[in-house]
């Protein structure tokens, strides 16, 4: 059902998307990671707009991304709840200690699927580059033995200029795990590593923009 509904939405919204949700894609290294995702993966991005989800839907066109979504969005109305479930959204109760969503995400990865998660856990409407990252994405990637694909977007949708997004090279979280450290320290260290990676993508995006303008 998720696969069919995603493709129905992508096909029917393709032309309107070209005019309404315009975006330009940059790459840290396109040879290592482009818009095509091979095999299982966890896509991790900063969160500047509620339309980030729509961006990801079309950014990684060939795959069905199962997005981790907060309970507040699910509870807005019955129609939205149905829509999110039809797309394969995975609900997380952020105010509780229920980590059932981690198991659901791992099952997606076991089947070779792709999970999408925003570790800031809420919209970043501050002047800060990035909010603190929650460790859920790291737990999921480690348990599911899947690489993390980092993404940074400026979240500037519906402007005269297209929104800009950059796709980073995959992160092998298992290779970052240090057996000399505790699980807690490892999770913290890897979470910070991923955060800094996405912060670095912001600067890489700016560098490529300046390089393009200088030509």
> Where exactly are the structural domains of the chain?
2-214
The CATH architecture one would assign to domain 2-214 is 3-Layer(aba) Sandwich (3.40)
193's enclosing H/E stretch is helix 183-214
In order along its 215 residues, the chain shows pLDDT tens digits of: 788 988 898 999 989 888 889 999 999 999 999 999 999 999 999 999 989 999 999 999 999 999 998 887 777 778 888 888 888 999 888 766 778 899 999 999 999 999 999 999 888 987 678 999 999 999 999 999 999 999 999 999 988 899 999 999 999 999 999 999 999 999 999 999 999 999 999 999 999 998 888 76
Distance of alpha carbon 128 from its chain centroid, rounded? 19
CB of 163 closer than 8 Å to CB of 154: yes
Please tell me the distance from the alpha carbon of residue 167 to that of residue 164, in angstroms, as a whole number: 10
Average pLDDT, the chain: 92
């Amino acid at each position: 059902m998720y696969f069919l509904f995603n493709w129905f939405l992508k096909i029917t919204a393709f032309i309107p998307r070209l005019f309404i949700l315009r975006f330009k894609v940059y790459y840290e290294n396109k040879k290592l990671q482009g818009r095509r995702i091979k095999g299982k993966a966890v896509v991790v991005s900063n969160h500047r707009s509620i339309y980030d989800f729509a961006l990801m839907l079309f950014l990684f066109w060939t795959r069905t991304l199962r997005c981790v979504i907060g309970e507040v969005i699910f509870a807005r109305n019955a129609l939205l709840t149905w829509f999110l479930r039809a797309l394969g959204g995975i609900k997380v109760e952020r105010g509780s200690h229920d980590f059932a969503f981690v198991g659901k995400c791992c099952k997606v990865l076991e089947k070779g699927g792709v999970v999408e998660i925003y570790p800031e856990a809420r919209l970043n409407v501050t002047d800060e580059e990035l909010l603190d990252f929650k460790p859920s994405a790291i737990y999921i990637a480690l348990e599911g033995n899947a690489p993390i694909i980092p993404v940074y977007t400026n979240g500037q949708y519906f402007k005269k200029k297209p929104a800009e997004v950059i796709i980073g090279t995959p992160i092998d979280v298992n290779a970052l795990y240090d057996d000399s450290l505790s699980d807690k320290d490892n999770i913290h260290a890897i979470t910070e590593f991923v955060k800094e990676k996405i912060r670095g993508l912001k600067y890489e995006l700016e560098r490529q923009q300046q390089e393009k303008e200088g030509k």
